[in-house]
Amino acid sequence: MRTATLVLVAYGLLLVLGAVWRILPLGPLADAVPDLAAITAAYLGLSSRRGIAPAVTGGVIVGYLADLLIGAPPGLGALACGIITILGHLVQRRILVRGWAVTVGFCGFTGAVAALLVIALRAVHDQPLARPSTEIFHLIATAAATAAAGPLLLRLLRRIDATFARTHREREHALEGIS
């Protein structure tokens, strides 16, 4: 239920972002779209308490829905988000995503990793790639946008997570970002 709620909220945010981004007067920054699906997947991995499988399911579904929204080949974002969920789960006990700087850094890193994974998967599946400079610019822009918008999304996801906490301790941990 918790994972489904997080996935649905992330999907709603993706819908809103897709609609808003189109009408915002961003000019050259229009390509710098925050990767909310990657952040959600990373959060699912970070906060997976009883096993990785439910979190990977959530991450894959978020990625899949994002693919359908943005018109990417279905499975591309899903696979990338699944991998990010696993990476998030692997670093769960090693890093503590708390504080402004660490949260921004984590979100930026997640955005960069997601962009890199998508480039790699496109290369593996013989999908068209832009010039290296363009791809690198897009990667940096995505990472920067994700670093900017990610902390807010993480804060929202933690709030939602806290409502599913069974004990007061779990609730406090969820709000403070302690898995």
Partner 1 sequence: MTLRRRLLDWSLAGLLLVLPALILRSNVRSGEPSGFDRAVLRVSSPLQAAVSWVIEGLGGMWSRYVALIGVDDENRELRAENERLRKDLAAMKRRAFDVEAIEELVDLKKRTPADTVGARVIAASLTPFFRVVRIRIDRGDKEVAPGMPVITSAGLVGRVAAAYGNHADVMLIADAQSSVDVVVPRTGGRGVLTGLGATDSYRCKIQWLERPSEPNQQARVEVGDAVVTSGLGAAFPAGIPVGVVDKVASKDYGMFQEVEVKPAVDFSELRAVMVLVAPPPPADPAAGKPRHAEPAFAVRPL
Answer for which of 125, 155, 159, 169 binds partner 1 (CB under 8 A) is 125
Q: How far apart are CA 29 and CA 162, in angstroms?
A: 34
Answer for which of 20, 100, 133, 166 binds partner 1 (CB under 8 A) is 20
Answer for which of 19, 27, 133, 167 binds partner 1 (CB under 8 A) is 19
Answer for which of 1, 126, 128, 168 binds partner 1 (CB under 8 A) is 126
Answer for which of 38, 39, 76, 112 binds partner 1 (CB under 8 A) is 76
The piece of 36-44, 62-70, 148-156, 166-174 that touches partner 1 (CB under 8 A) is 62-70
Considering beta carbons, is residue 43 or 64 the nearer one to partner 1? 64
Residues 79-108 that bind partner 1 (CB under 8 A): 79, 82-83, 86
Q: Is the dihedral of CA 82, 17, 101, 136 positive or negative?
A: positive
CA 58 to chain centre: 11
Considering beta carbons, is residue 56 or 115 the nearer one to partner 1? 56
The piece of 16-24, 33-41, 97-105, 145-153 that touches partner 1 (CB under 8 A) is 16-24
Q: How far apart are CA 41 and CA 62, in angstroms?
A: 7
Long-range contacts of 57-62 (CB under 8 A, 24+ apart): 57/3, 58/3, 58/4, 58/6, 58/7, 58/85, 59/84, 59/85, 60/85, 61/7, 62/7, 62/10, 62/11, 62/37
The piece of 61-69, 95-103, 131-139, 170-178 that touches partner 1 (CB under 8 A) is 61-69
Q: How far apart are CA 70 and CA 63, in angstroms?
A: 10
